[in-house]
Every structure is written in C-alpha cells, then in structure tokens.
A and B are shown apart, each in its own frame.
Chain A
Amino acid sequence: MTLPLGLFAQVLHLVLVLLAALVLPGLLDSARARFQGRHGPHPLQPALDWLALLRKQPVVAESASGISSIAPYLGFAAMLAAVLLAPGFAHGMALSSLTDLVVLAGLLALARAARALAALDAGTATGGLAAAGGMGLAGLTLPTLLLAAMGFSILTGTTGADGIAQSLRESVPAFRVPLGLLALALLAVALAETGRLPAGNPAAEALGDGGDDSVPEASGRHLALWRMQSALRLVFWLSLLAGLFAPFGMASAASGALGWLLALLLWPLKLLLLTLALAVAEARLARLRAARLTELLTAALLLALLGVVWLFLSAGVA
C-alpha cells in the first residue's frame, strides 16, 4: 500500500475504533439487559457519562502524587496506541510494520501498570486490592498471549498481527484444530482482560455501566480517561480476535473501491457480532467466582500449549 493510502487507512481506522469505543460498551450493556428481560440503559449512556465526568472537577487525595494525574493519560495513550496497531478493516495501514504481538503485549502491560500505579498512589486499602487484582491476572494471560504469538509465528512465519491476518486470509479457508484451540485460549484471555465476565466483584455488576473500578480514587476527567481506556480495551480485544481469526473481507491496496466499501461494512459487522455474542454470554452465564476465573485462565493456557504442540505434530512442521 502506498504511503498516502496507508495513512488514509490508518486515520480511517483511528476514527472507526474511536466510534466503536463510543458505541460498543453501551451497546453491550443494553443488549445484555434486553437478553435478561430488562429495559437497560441507553446504548450511548457510557459516552454521556464520560461527557458528564469531563465537566466535573477532578478531586485528588492529599497523599497522592503526580502519578494520579499522569497515569490516566499514560494508560489511555498506551491503550490507544495498542488499538491503533490492532488489525482493522484493511491490510498494510501506515503503522502495520509495528503490529508485532509481543509489542502489543508490552503496550497492554504498560496500560495495566499505569492503572495499578494510579490505584496505589493514594495509599488506600481498596486501591491496593484493585492494583493487586489487575496485576495478578497478567501472570496467566501473558503466557497465553505469548504462546498464541508462537503458534501464529509457526503457522505464518511472523508475529506481526497484520502479517498474520494477511497470510491467514490468503491461505485455504479450512478449519484447523490448532487455530481453534488458540482462538478459544485468546477468547478466555480477552474475557478476563476486558473484565467482561462477571467475576469476583459484585459491585462491578451493581454499577451496571461497565464501571471500571480498577482505580477507586479517580474522579472527574481522570475517571473519564480510565473508563474510556476500558472501552478501548474492549475494542482492542474484539478487533484483535476478529483480525486474527476471521480476517476474511479485509481490504488491501489491490482491492478496488467495492472491496474497500465491503471491508468498511464487514469490520463493524464482525465487531457487532462479537459484542452480541458477548452480551448473550454475559446474560446467560452465572457469575464466576474469582477462583473459577483463574481456572478458566489456566485452562486457556493449557489449550494454547496444546495448540502449539499440535502444530509441531501436524505434518509439514515437525
């Protein structure tokens, strides 16, 4: 893809993911409420909440340091960078050479660490709990993500998300067991990372608006940034899953205007479908205990392990 076209696609991708972050969390909440037979909030309610929060004056504890004011921006920027690098509607966007999965894992870790630092800043008990919970989960999600990267690198010879999507799209469309195992593993990781499975904390559900309580002390625009970051995280994982496991219909430089139009329609459709599936799962599943979540993640890790070993054993590789 030529540079102007790549830049154009990248900017379009940025606009699309920001729109998705605006719409999808609210849509998820209202769809879940509908599936449970409730009315539920308006789909744009989270966005309206952000606007309300932006108008409020942030309040910072006396014992807090500059971290409380810097970390929201850092976490949001890291997550926005990760979303920019996630696979979108087209191949070969301007930043497509940076879309390495290990770098993406590093950006996610940076966002997570910023969240935990902000939670620890004021020195409250709830803040410590929130920070520990967020960091502890990474011990199981990071190895799964790395194993998935290894599986893709064996299959396609690269760990760049863009390159993976491209070569999987060009290969023969057939169901492959290792890919299925990796998809299941990454799905569990995505559920845990986005905090969408109602696990452990009943308050998260009581808030109902996807209230991200990972930084209990935040308020005003800081809280708005944390919530927007959590919305971006949802978009990131959905687009990563869609891009890696369902890369059909993505546009490239060769595809004409019709191809681009189709890709621009297909990408939101994929995300929408995933969101609805997530809403059904959230509505139908009982709440997991915190211990069950770690079991789910351990199973995901084992599935990823099996997927990679399967790749070794399948013909032509071992």
Chain B
Amino acid sequence: MELKNRRQSLMPDVVLDTNVLADFLAQFFGSAQRGRAPFTKQDTVTRELARKVNQIVHWHDWNFELGSEEDGARHPGLIVAVTFAFVEIARKWTDIVRERFTVEQMAGFIEQPPEWFVIEPVDENLVEAFCDVPTDILTARGEMRSLEWADTIHVAVAFGRGDNCLLAATDGEIRRIDVLQNRLL
C-alpha cells in the first residue's frame, strides 16, 4: 500500500518530531475525532501543518469514497513519525501527554495507524541517512553545539524520504540546521 503511494506521491511527506507527534495525537483522539473533524492550529501543530494534515486526510477519505486510489497526480503525501518518537512519548508520558490520550489509544494507533500515517522503523536504512545529518549546529548565541542522536533521528527520517520531505519540529537546534530551512513546517 505505502509503496504504491510512494510511487504516486508528488507532494512531499511530513515528518513529525516527538513533541509535534504528541500534540498531533492529542488532536487525533480529541477534537479531530480520528480524522473525521479538521485538525486546527494548537500547541505545536502550526496552521500550516494542520492545513497539510487536513489535505492528506481529505484526499484519503475522498479516494476511499470513490473506491479508487489511481489518481496519483493529486496525492498529497503522507504523515510520518519514527518509532523512536513513540518511545520518547512513553518515556516522558506525564509531561508530554498531559492526560490528553491514553496508553491504550496510543497502543491501538501504533498497531493500526490510519492509512495516511506511516510509522518509520529505526533500521539499517535509517543509519545511512543518519550519517548525512550535520553533527554540529551554530546556536543563536553563536556557539557550536552537537546535535544529539535522539534529535538527529527525526532529521534522518526526513532526509531518507526524499529531498523535498518536510519536517515539523520544535527542537531549536533542529530548526537551525541550514539545509532544513526550506523544509520546516
């Protein structure tokens, strides 16, 4: 299913980092009613990201109703998060989730995500892309800081999904990576 979508995809995918994923899931299980109502600008979900998610969900609903996914020319891309982002949510559960969704809901999402959402593995392919991500970042105060692997991994997922893949990230150091400047949501 995903391979077919990837071949057809003309619009970029969007990778969510840990904090954005948590806020996305809060809306998914809350006001967005698992994609039956629109996502909106809230917390780390920007207006632009909400618009992109709604576009993707709408496209899949429309094609499901038509019973066809052959219209690849309009395919809007996919929403993506790496498995590690779910691990980070689990590690920081109380602070990040703030009772907006339950463990059971997250487990169900991981087992069976919507068809427009991809859970990317941490595997040998990702290690290749990981090596392409810059190690040192120039901070706002003009200091060089190393990007930790736990942050690097979200960037690697975006790199691994093509040159135009977008990244929704809150981490200040990720947002300072030069080559990402035109790809941040």
A and B: interacting chains: no
Give residues in A with beta carbon < 8 Å to B.
Answer: none
Give residues in B with beta carbon < 8 Å to A.
Answer: none
